[in-house]
Amino acid sequence: MRWGAWLLGVLVCGVIVARATIVTDITAFLPGPATREQAMLAEQLRDGVAARVILVGVEAASADQAAAAAQRSQQIAATLRADPRFAFVANGDPAMFLAERERLFDARYLLSAQVSPQRFSVEGLRAAAADLEALLRSSAAPLVKPTAARDLLANC
């Protein structure tokens, strides 16, 4: 009788576990999206590029081992770059971002739904120049400054 009850209990637990939905993404902890932008962010966190980013840190136990840790970090990065399963390995090198930035910069107007033909009218260009000037005076200036001249020329 005891074995039968125990076996029935194990069977019920097995059915519960088999039918349970297990979610392992961060979006399970977010509240439901209230706006379209929030829904897009949740979707990107669940299925987009952000869901496939892997950050790896190599630390040295002491200052004496820092050079060895840096060398090991470079070895890991080289190994990962050679693996076709990894699309991008930066390892903190800003030069690695140049090709990605150029690709995005060249397609920036194709990627934005906010860019319309009116943006390239006289008024649109004036508004774009005014927006760029405001950005250059803001705290975002260090991010905007490297591409500001090229972006302004691309609008003309």
Q: How confident is the model at residue 16 (pLDDT cuts 50, 70, 90)?
A: very high
* CA distance linking residue 95 with residue 100, whole number of Å: 10
pTM above threshold 0.75: no
Average pLDDT rounded to a whole number, residues 93-121: 77
Query: For residue 23, is pLDDT > 80?
Result: no
Q: Would you state the pLDDT for residue 72?
A: 93
10 vs 47, which has greater pLDDT? 10
Give me the DSSP letters along the chain: -HHHHHHHHHHHHHHHHHH-----SGGGGSPPP-SHHHHHHHHHHHHSGGGG--------SSGGGHHHHHHHHHHHHHHHHHSTT-S---TT-TTHHHHHHHHHHHTHHHH-TT--GGGGSHHHHHHHHHHHHHHHTSTTHHHHHHHHHHHHHHH-
pLDDT winner (highest mean) among 10-19, 25-34, 37-46, 111-120: 10-19
pLDDT band at 111 (very low <50, low <70, confident <90, very high): low
Place of tokens 């200052």: 63
Does the pLDDT of residue 128 top 70, yes or no?
A: yes
Mean pLDDT for the chain overall:
83
Predicted confidence (pLDDT) at residue 95 exceeds the cutoff of 90: no
Residues whose CB falls within 8 Å of the CB of residue 86, separated by 6 or more in sequence, listed in order: 80
Among the ranges given (27-31, 43-47, 120-124, 146-150), the one the predictor scored with the smallest mean pLDDT: 27-31
pLDDT in tens, 58-84: 888 888 899 999 999 999 999 998 999
Can you tell me the distance from the alpha carbon of 147 to that of 136, in angstroms, rounded to the nearest whole number?
Answer: 11
Q: Which is nearest to 53 in space by CA: 80, 89, 28, 19?
A: 89
pLDDT band at 12 (very low <50, low <70, confident <90, very high): very high
Q: What percent of the chain has pLDDT over 90?
A: 19
Q: Amino acid identity, residue 9?
A: G
Distance CA 25, CA 36 (A): 20
